[in-house]
Amino acid sequence: MADRITLRGLRARGYHGVFDFERRDGQDFVVDAVLHLDTAAAAASDDVGDTVHYGLLAERLVEIVRGEPVNLIETLAERLATECLAEPLVREVELTVHKPSAPISHEFTDVAVTVTRGRETVS
């Protein structure tokens, strides 16, 4: 499937990490989601009901980032990907969680985990 909806740079403050100070102070996380779906029905109808309402999805993703803390961004990425797949039209999602303020003692630009998850096709 060639159609994609891409949401990049969704920023929210969360309290994830293995260190106490990360859980206490929090930090910003950045989420990128690439949704794979068929957009033909939406293009034909020009109706948001025939596609993924990315504004509403963004709200749900932000709530997950702001929600229950986890140790690893791998776990956070999995939760976010699962939420994307809750959208009936989404067949696959590539979900990246960036942790630009990760506690690393050297200069760096970004730390990110990307997961790709798909829906099993039922015949």
Residues annotated catalytic, as ranges: 99
Here the tokens at position 113 are 């985990």
Distance spanning both ends of the chain, measured CA to CA: 17
Cβ-proximal residues to 108 (8 Å cutoff; 6+ apart), any chain: 102
Q: Is-contact 52 87, C-beta < 8 A?
A: yes
